[in-house]
Structure 1
Amino acid sequence: MTQHIARGPETTWAARLTGTLLCLAVAVIHVKDQGGVTATRDPYYVGVGYHVLEIVAVVAAVLLLIGLVRPGWLLAAGVAVGPLAGYLLSRGPGLPGYTDDVGNWTEPLGLVSLAVEGALLILSAPLVARGLRRGSP
């Protein structure tokens, strides 16, 4: 049984490479923000969230590179939306046990992260929507 890979904009090499690089950038930004690969932010659930995001970002990048575009773009959209939501919650009302960033809207690394995640969302959302409209092969 062969895997059907839909043809069209979602499978162009340029789009896949851009998505791959953006996913990897999200991972690198969060590794840097947490203080390294082996560090875990406090509170613990935030640190675990960082690690999960970094792993999912790498998995999405690999899926896009090898041509598994539907799951790759779906994960890429999650890699964009998850930290965007985390940024808004951590800077707005704060998270349980994590209020250090409340009101810190202009942190340079946070702004870079927003730009990268925003670009990834702009790229991945229409491709995910197109894939959902087509349905699974």
Structure 2
Amino acid sequence: MSSQRTARGPQAMWVARSAGALLCLAVAAIHVKDQGGVTTTRDPHYIGVAYHVLEIVAVVAAALLLVGLVRVGWLLAAGVAAGPLLGYILSRGPGLPNYSDDIGNWTEPLGLVSLAVEGALLLLSVSVTRSLLHRRTQY
């Protein structure tokens, strides 16, 4: 019985890492589409820079998860999820400095897709990180 659990553990972790990597890449793709392409920078400039940083970090997190550097990969994945969630709430709620275009725009289709992907990534990354920490304290 324990050998069956051991055999499933690495496979389950690989599935989680693959899913996390795909979700990170989806976050990057959504933000590339939202900004109008890889070479486009949104206005105001700080929002455009934040988009580019998010996209780069999302790709790095995906790569780290796929190559097995899971601690830092999952930490970055959580940031890739939480950052845009916070940005969505702030940009649709009170607005951001020099950026009020999206105030009240809670039902934008791409924004809702982004929320779903980021929410799934956040739940997965927190769950796996918690599991890794729990497993570490058992030994």
Q: CA deviation at 1:91?
A: 0.2
Question: What is the 5 A alignment of 1:1-137?
Answer: 8=9, 12-132=13-133, 134=136
Instruction: Give how far 1:132 is off.
Output: 4.4
Q: Distance in 2 between matches of 1:94 and 1:22?
A: 26
Deviation string 1:11-43 (CA, Å, 9 cap, x unpaired) is 711101100100000000000000000000000
Query: Equivalent residue for 2:4?
Result: none
Cα distance in structure 2, aligned partners of 1:80 and 1:88 = 13
> Which has the higher Rg, Structure 1 or Structure 2?
2
TM-score when normalising by structure 2: 0.87
Q: What is the CA–CA distance in structure 1 between the aligned matches of 2:89 and 2:11, rounded to whole Å?
A: 29
The offset of 1:10, in angstroms, is 9.8
SS in 2 for 1:82: helix
The structure whose residues are more often helix, as a share, is 2
Q: Distance in 1 between matches of 2:11 and 2:101?
A: 39
CA RMSD of aligned residues (A): 1.8
Q: How far, CA to CA, are the matches of 1:9 and 1:123 in structure 2? A: 16
Structure 1 residue runs of 5 or longer lacking an equivalent are: 1-7
